[in-house]
Chains A and B, each alone.
Chain A
Amino acid sequence: MTTPAQSDLAPPPTLEVRGGRKNFGAVHALRGVDIVARAGEVTALVGDNGAGKSTLIKCIAGIFPFDAGEVRYEGETVHISDPGAANDIGIEVVYQDLALCDNLDIVHNMFLGRELRKGFRLDEAAMETRAAEVLASLSVRTVRSIRQHVASLSGGQRQTVAIARAVLWNSKLVILDEPTAALGVAQTEQVLQLVRRLADAGLAVVLVSHNMNDVFEVADSISVLYLGQTAAQVRTADTSRAEVIELITSGSAVAPVGAPGTAQPATDNANGSTTA
């Protein structure tokens, strides 16, 4: 199995998982996954249904820890035992079902569980100012008022709020689970631009997606899972859709895909074939 082996003087990747395993009883959900996510890059995590994408991100997020394998965070071995521990070291996950409260406004959703306080009281002004700053830094200009209830937002705006909430806490690694799955064309474009801006701002972004268009539009690197194992992690620039789809469906490329960094000439003949 290929492993990214860039032993240069470059800073250690934000997240590096080696040989991650997870069993649920007799079910081997993860049978040795490797993934590397670097600061300033979007790392796409792709794979067919049941390949283990959700399990992998839940392991990274501490919802259920790996059974075996090594997790290195900014070069140091860590054990993430619960979601709080993941948050503490700067890992945030934006789940597919968003986890927003419809009856609260944008500010309260962004600070849910981590409200700023003045003594006993909520520091509404500070939270509102900070939320506005974060949204502005993400160049979000589509929300009318940050005091409106989340229920009144469109799917793209809700996704934006969820992502903004994840970057509010000086997080270093943001994991996005299918952020565009339920969105229309224009909103998908907005969210993808937002994902790109997160990476450009220096965060490590892991993007779980089924959509090859999205992946090739924003990802710097693509990690493919196949039946609980990492088939390959390749640089987007060095691969093609056909190759990635082949990896997703069969676990190995027709033409051998080398380790990332050792460029493989991309075959251009199947450019139009995309999956959704």
Chain B
Amino acid sequence: MSTPTVSTRSDAPSLLSGEVEQPTFTEALQNYVRKVRGGDMGSLPAILALTVLAGVFVVLKPETFPSALNIANLFQQGAVVVTIAMGLVFVLLIGEIDLSAGFASGVCGAILAVTLTSIGWPWYVAVLAAVLTGVVIGLVIGLLVAKIGIPSFVTTLGAFLAFQGVVLLIIGTGGNISLTNPVILAIQNKNIPPAIGWALGGLAVAAYGFATIRTWSSRRRQGLLSAPRAMVITKVVAMALVVLGGVLVLNQERSVNPAITSLRGVPIVVPIIVVLALGLGFLLTRTAFGRHIYAVGGNAEATRRAGIPVARIRVTCFIICSSMAAFAGIFAASRATSVDPNAGGSNVLLYAVGAAVIGGTSLFGGKGRITDALIGGAVIAVIDNGMGLLGYSAGIKFVVTGLVLIAAAAVDALSRRRARTTGRG
């Protein structure tokens, strides 16, 4: 590859010892391997687990597991858990926990159902009410934790119980509010027309490629350390394959009887989650606020001395978490086409915490990304779905998911220990 060697520019800003030596593809790969061996594994274990699990289920259930119908199902099943997990990443990053996120999503779902049906508000007002409920819940929990200083475990454990009661009070014991609003129901039950799916997918890939390459070339121009060109291109191509491959699969006809009803296209919930993930990812990695979240998780005292309002950061993280729970509550209501008193209960929260941790977000704070929630959520969804197809009972499913979660937490703890001994973060 004969790139014009930017690194030899004499007026390039010196990186400690003269000019920057841009790594070659092999060197960059070696650096990555060294990073992983040093204990900084990121989502690698989760991706491996996902590949192995998917492989096993494809072999064991070749007709059903990899079918378009089932893959679309996976997305719709995983949507709720992934959405809560994305919010939980923020709380986990500052070294806290939110055990109430599951039932917070139930409360918000119940608010949505009541405002839609009993009060008869239009769907967008009801959605706004649900999300605002999430914001208020997060604000209260955040203030209790950050200002009063109650440990988040206890605060949110109390909130967990209380919200369970609130859902019961709103819905009524044994009650059940059915949803009929077509827009809300469409989120989890309707698909995007295939052509628009292609257009959105293409647009996403183009935007990603453009942004990545622009950042890369700007860094090169300024003589800053950047990944080798081949690696950047590999990343963009891999991203394009995943996105467009997903669109391709989801655009297949998956109706049991296509003559009567056609069922094709990307489920509507998918682009909504993508937009949420992009927004939160941007917040976390590209803004000063995001930096400060990591700083609070890494060393709260240092952050305070740097003049950053630590309490405000903490409260905001809880607000983000509960707001995401509100979205999850809406998705869950849409999927179930109703809200019952157990909304957001049973294993929803545990799956969400599991998703974030399996994806590589540390329970010790300071380490985690939005993609962790997506990948970890995929692992959980695949286990849940695949074992269901194999006909295992809920009991076996819970045991396996629990073991995977413990394994992920063990990987986290061990990699932290390794990171300490090898002096990596």
Contacts and interface: CB of A to CB of B under 8 A. Distances in A.
A, B in one complex: yes
Interface of A: 83-84, 87, 95, 97-104, 108, 112-115, 117, 120-122, 125, 128-129, 132-133, 135-136, 140-141, 143, 145-147, 149-154
B300 to A, nearest CB: 9
Contacts of A115: 288, 291
Contacts of A95: 305
Interface string B225-246: 1000000000000000000000
A152 B423 contact: yes
Nearest to B288: A115
Nearest first, the 7 A-B pairs at minimum CB distance are A149-B425, A113-B306, A101-B298, A151-B425, A103-B298, A99-B302, A103-B366
Contacts of B17: 141
Interface stretch (B8-16, B79-87, B139-147, B194-202): B8-16
Interface string B269-298: 000000000000000001110011011011
Nearest to A117: B288
Most buried by B among A98, A100, A108, A112: A112
Contacts of A136: 14-16
B336 interface: no
A100 B225 contact: no
A177 to B, nearest CB: 12
B308 A113 contact: yes
Contacts of A112: 291-292, 295, 302-303, 306, 308
A40 B420 CA distance: 39
Nearest to B306: A113
B30 interface: no
Interface stretch (B101-109, B216-224, B353-361, B386-394): B216-224
Interface in B290-343: 291-292, 294-295, 297-299, 301-303, 305-308
Interface of B: 13-17, 218-219, 222, 224-225, 286-288, 291-292, 294-295, 297-299, 301-303, 305-308, 366-367, 419-420, 422-425
B295 A133 contact: no
Given A87-B307, A100-B299, A108 B222 contact: no
A108 B293 CA distance: 12
Contacts of A114: 306-307
Nearest to A140: B16
Contact of A99 (B14, B294, B301): B301
Q: Is the interface of A mostly helix, strand, loop or mixed?
A: loop
A112 B306 CA distance: 6
A61 to B, nearest CB: 10
A149 B17 CA distance: 19
29 contacts: A83-B307, A87-B307, A98-B302, A99-B299, A100-B299, A101-B294, A101-B299, A101-B302, A101-B303, A102-B366, A108-B291, A112-B295, A112-B302, A115-B288, A120-B286, A122-B286, A122-B288, A125-B224, A129-B222, A132-B13, A136-B15, A140-B16, A146-B15, A149-B424, A149-B425, A151-B423, A151-B425, A152-B422, A154-B423
Contacts of B15: 132, 136, 145-146
Most buried by B among A99, A104, A140: A104
Most buried by B among A114, A121, A132: A132
Given A113-B306, A125-B218, A132 B291 contact: no
Contact of A145 (B225, B287, B299, B423): B225
A100 B425 CA distance: 12
A238 B372 CA distance: 63
Contacts of B218: 125
Given A99-B301, A149-B425, 11 more contacts: A98-B302, A99-B302, A100-B302, A104-B291, A112-B292, A112-B306, A121-B286, A125-B218, A132-B14, A136-B16, A152-B422
A84 B307 contact: yes
Nearest to B40: A149
A143 B16 contact: yes
A206 B13 CA distance: 30
B241 to A, nearest CB: 27
Contacts of B308: 112-113
A133 B291 CA distance: 22
B402 to A, nearest CB: 28
Contacts of A151: 419-420, 423-425
A146 B14 CA distance: 11
A150 to B, nearest CB: 7
Given A102-B425, A112-B295, A141-B17, A129 B288 contact: no
Contacts of A97: 301
A154 B424 CA distance: 11
Nearest to A116: B288
B211 to A, nearest CB: 11
A132 B15 CA distance: 5
B367 to A, nearest CB: 6
A83 B305 contact: yes
Contacts of A147: 225
B224 A129 contact: yes
Contacts of B303: 101, 112-113
A263 B387 CA distance: 87
Contact of B306 (A99, A129, A153): A99
A101 B303 CA distance: 8
Given A101-B302, A102-B425, A112-B306, A146 B291 contact: no
Contacts of B295: 101, 104, 108, 112
A142 B292 CA distance: 27
A164 to B, nearest CB: 11
Contacts of A103: 294, 297-298, 366-367, 425
Most buried by A among B291, B298, B366: B298
Nearest to B223: A129
Given A84-B307, A101-B302, A141 B288 contact: no
Contact of B298 (A102, A132, A152): A102
Contacts of A87: 307
